[in-house]
Chain A
Amino acid sequence: MALPYDSAAKFQDYAHPEVLVSTDWLAEHLDDPGLVVAESDEDVLLYETGHIPGAVKLDWHTELNEPDTRDYVDGQGFARLMSEKGISRDTTLVLYGDRNNWWAAYALWVATLFGHPDVRLLDGGRAKWIAEDRPLTRDAPERVPAGYPVIDRDDTRIRAFRSQVEQHLGRPMIDVRSPGEYSGELLHMPDYPQEGAVRGGHIPGARSVPWARAAAEDGTFRERKELEGIYAGEAGLQPGDDIVVYCRIGERSSHTWFVLQHLLGYPHVRNYDGSWTEWGNSVRVPIKRGETP
């Protein structure tokens, strides 16, 4: 049984208000059967320092990822993971995390690849919950394993691969990285190779809209009118556009995917998770340097 939607006034302006819950809503429903709260952070230990009571941990690096193939877990892997965490197909799954829900949005995007019917984000994430002095605990939750069916991952609707992005050149694309990464100034420092690319710049034609612009000071999503000003106004996106978003490895762009798909209601938005670490290193694919698309 899905839990009731959060009727907070702010959410009603969004195209799909049912994908967000407020901290008030979560506090009220925390003990409801049928709800599982999962924390997904950039920092792999942050959950252990204290989390929302009852929340399970969901880590992208170590759990959602299939490192040997640079892919996500398959249907069996996802079923196993969800079952272990006490999540069944009819569970209302509420995700939250650090850094404006950047990794939580990523986890939500992955859950969407498997078509989980009811998955929502906590508006404002971990930071807002803490700012409001709501309870945290270090106690590990006791969750009874659930049965989650094996669902084939659907990579066709919201995920883009490199060859598809090559076909997409000339159509709307959003690069959500920082301005320095977009222009190509930033690769990595000499002698300190990191998660970098051999070339700096962006995919030709992609417009720069750093992902965090969609978040307000307190980590909540900006109101619909402000988001429209950024993505429709400044970046010139039209609701019916076929849109590709990307960053370095596809996590920050999941946040923008969420905004475009769910808050603004654009139906054709795909996240290119290969992103710059693939494109910037690929042989015979074009890049553009500098500040213009």
Chain B
Amino acid sequence: MTTGTLNPRLAEIVDDFTSMPGKERLQLLLEFSDDLPALPERYADRRDLLEQVPECQSPLFLAVEVDDGDVVHLFFDAPPEAPTTRGFASILQAGLDGLGADEVLATPDEFTGQLGLNDLVSPLRLRGMAAMLSRIKRQIRSQRAG
């Protein structure tokens, strides 16, 4: 288990979710889903550069870049027919993209359970988001090691 604290952006997202009643949380997840940025051109035709996350129930691909300043950039691709997966990806994008690598690595693995979505989405589906986070961390570690 990673122990760490949520960065302020992610903490605010968690706060947004948990401060509203159940049904509205799904609407918020839908908004995240709608807002997931499209892949930039350099990835759009190069699926082979992306890592697949098979733990998600629907296809999800992600790319992680750690730049020279140790800043993390995240890219996701999931089809419109998979709005939950898109929503999870979009939360991670909004909460982690542009942060320092150490800050991303410090994100507690269990944060996906803090969004108040367990009963609405089911723990099984939430596992997909936990898997995305762990793959992001693993990529950061391996890119730094490389």
Q: Footprint of B on A, CB under 8 Å?
A: 42-46, 48-49, 61-62, 98, 189, 192, 194-195
Query: Which of chain A's residues have a CB closer than 8 A to the CB of B81?
Result: 43, 46, 98
Q: Is B27 an interface residue (CB 8 A)?
A: yes
Query: When the two chains form their complex, are residues A44 and B120 in contact, meaning their CB atoms are under 8 A apart?
Result: yes
Query: When the two chains form their complex, are residues A45 and B80 in contact, meaning their CB atoms are under 8 A apart?
Result: no
Query: When the two chains form their complex, are residues A49 and B122 in contact, meaning their CB atoms are under 8 A apart?
Result: no
Q: Measured between alpha carbons, how far is A44 from B119 in the docked complex, in Å?
A: 11
Q: Measured between alpha carbons, how far is A49 from B27 in the docked complex, in Å?
A: 10
- The stretch among B12-20, B36-44, B52-60, B95-103 that forms the contact with chain A is B52-60
Q: Is B83 an interface residue (CB 8 A)?
A: yes
Query: When the two chains form their complex, are residues B26 and A42 in contact, meaning their CB atoms are under 8 A apart?
Result: no
How big is the B interface, by class? 20 to 34
Query: When the two chains form their complex, are residues A43 and B82 in contact, meaning their CB atoms are under 8 A apart?
Result: yes
Residue in A46, A61, A98, A192 whose beta carbon sits within 8 Å of that of B131 in the complex? A192
Query: When the two chains form their complex, are residues A43 and B119 in contact, meaning their CB atoms are under 8 A apart?
Result: no
CB distance from B71 to the nearest CB of A (A): 26
Residue in A45, A61, A194 whose beta carbon sits within 8 Å of that of B83 in the complex? A45
Residue in A46, A62, A192 whose beta carbon sits within 8 Å of that of B119 in the complex? A62
Listed by A's residue number, 7 A-B pairs whose Cβ atoms lie within 8 Å are A43-B84, A46-B81, A46-B83, A48-B30, A49-B83, A62-B120, A195-B124
Query: When the two chains form their complex, are residues A42 and B29 in contact, meaning their CB atoms are under 8 A apart?
Result: no
Query: Which of chain A's residues have a CB closer than 8 A to the CB of B27?
Result: 48
Query: Which of chain B's residues have a CB closer than 8 A to the CB of A62?
Result: 119-122
Q: Measured between alpha carbons, how far is A31 from B91 in the docked complex, in Å?
A: 38
